[in-house]
Structure 1
Amino acid sequence: MTSEPAAPVLGLRERKKLAARQALGAAALRLALERGLDQLRVEDIASEVGVSPRTFNNYFSSKEEAVCSFIVAQQERVREALRARPAHEPLWEAVINAAVDQASRDGAPRREDVRRMREMMHNAGLFAEMLRAHATVERVLAEAVTERAGSTANPLHARMLAGIVQGASRIAFHTWLTSGPDAEFLPTFVDLLREASAGMPTLTAAAARATAP
């Protein structure tokens, strides 16, 4: 049986850069939700974190990209959670458990914040960045799935599984957002993932062969 894949170890400089990017992204999202995208300036985001606009531009090309960076950050956390799953765990179960574990840690956002974000999607620049972020997210998780499944895995199947996880997340959020005040996000997300598991037998079988003793 193969051993668990080791996660890359970041040096101090890389960790500082990652922390700065995350801080800028979090500030951009928070300020956009508070003020609206049209009232948000790059200078405001940089000032919130205590850096210069030039430093901001080292990490993001626009305020829209910074606002949408939370999407990629969330999926990167799922990737690390997947890498940490036990090596003997079947692939699909590992993906589900990693996604659910991270969703539990992140928690559901405030409904009002989600509504404001949907309203901001009418901005063409933000919508374009959102699409790019989702494309990056699919690649990030697909790479982690391929890494875990082994060399016999079909990259197209890995992308399909990543797309299922993303799709389940979006549908769960929409269902939760439009449901009654007592509805919970996480159970809906888990149910959708488990129902989708029947659609991925090929990749699961490939992973099982790769990890067989």
Structure 2
Amino acid sequence: MTTRQAGLRERKKQATRKALREAALRLALERGPDNVRVDDIAEAAGVSPRTYNNYFSSREEAIVAAVTAEREFRVAAAVADRAGTRLADDVVGAVVEQYTDSGEPGRDALLLITTSPALRNVFLDAAAAIELPLTEAINGRLGETDPYAARVLAASVAAAVHVALDRWLQPAAASLAAGGFVVPAGSLPDLLRAALAPLAPAFDAAEERARHDEHR
């Protein structure tokens, strides 16, 4: 397969993934997530159910994918692009920027997630997807001098984001159970910064080791 063919194939796959996740969210907003079948999503996206299963393992995963929209890759790209400044600050800035973009998840999509326990759980679990792309970005920043540092730091970031999102959504679940309005608690940027703050010394230490190894 030529490079051009591989590029075309990858773009087609990305287009199919986008069509599926957008169809999933649209149908969920129209009908409610419990009234959407995988077959419905596949039909709306113009593919077979078998093709759907090559991209997503459940309807919840597809719906949440429309909300997160491969955000983990944008976080990693932002960290890689900001080389030259303090790594800890760049990671926090990238996470806060990508998780609090006013266009995502959007009021209706956020309401959908907070009112569905299944969607809420998948949304929280999606934070783990940050680990691998962020590992590569951190490795690039540190010069790959330590086989463990980047992976451990990226996994810690994923865990911190999960904690922040969980804290943000917990009051929403409680208010729903009480029959009240669904309103996430507090400022998400503040919660993300607070959850990531304990990781700063580890990032600083990893950068210092990388600088020391570079000048040896």
1:203 aligned residue: 203
- 5 Å matches for 1:70-149? 70=66, 71=68, 73-85=70-82, 87-103=83-99, 105=101, 107-121=103-117, 123=118, 129-130=122-123, 132-149=125-142
Aligned AA for 2:126? Answer: A
Cα-to-partner distance string for 1:157-184 (whole Å, 9 max, x where unaligned): 33213322343345456679345xxx8x
**Relative to structure 1, is the Cα distance of residues 175 and 200 closer, same or farther in structure 2, using a 3 angstrom cutoff?**
farther
C-alpha contact (below 8 Å) 1:24/1:56 kept by paired residues: yes
* Aligned residue number for residue 3 of structure 1: none
Q: Relative to 1, partners in 2 of residues 1:34 and 1:140: Cα closer, same or farther, differing over 3 Å?
A: farther
- Cα distance, 1:28 vs structure 2: 0.9
Amino acid at match of 2:201: P
Match of 1:39 among 35, 42, 50: 35
Q: Name the residue aligned to 1:4.
A: none
Structure 2: runs of 5+ lacking an equivalent: 1-5, 173-182
- Asked whether the 8 Å contact 1:33–1:117 carries over to 2, the reply is no
Please tell me the root mean square deviation across aligned C-alpha atoms, in Å: 3.3
Percent identity, aligned pairs only? 38
Structure 1 pair 77–27 and aligned structure 2 pair: CA distance change class (3 A): farther
Equivalent residue letter for 2:128: A
SS at match of 1:96: helix
Task: State the aligned residue count.
Answer: 194
Partner of residue 193, structure 1: 193
Superposed displacement of residue 110, structure 1: 3.8
Which string of whole-angstrom CA distances, capped at 9 and with x for unpartnered residues, describes residues 33-78 of structure 1? 3311221022321232233333222322332321232447122221
Q: Which amino acid aligns with 2:30?
A: E
- 8 Å CA contact 2:79–2:91 kept in 1: the answer is yes
Q: Partner amino acid for 1:79? A: A
Q: Distance in 2 between matches of 1:135 and 1:147?
A: 20
User: Partners of 1:165 and 1:119 in 2: how far apart?
Assistant: 20
Residue by residue over 1:79-112, the C-alpha shift from the partner in whole angstroms, topping out at 9 and shown as x without a partner, is 2222222x21111111122223324545353444
Of stretches 166-175 and 197-206 in structure 1, the one that deviates more from structure 2 is 166-175
Equivalent residue letter for 1:90: R
C-alpha spacing 1:208/1:31, structure 2 compared with 1 (3 Å): farther
Within 2, Cα distance between the matches of 1:106 and 1:13? Answer: 32
Q: Answer yes or no: is the 8 Å Cα contact 1:91–1:204 preserved in 2.
A: yes
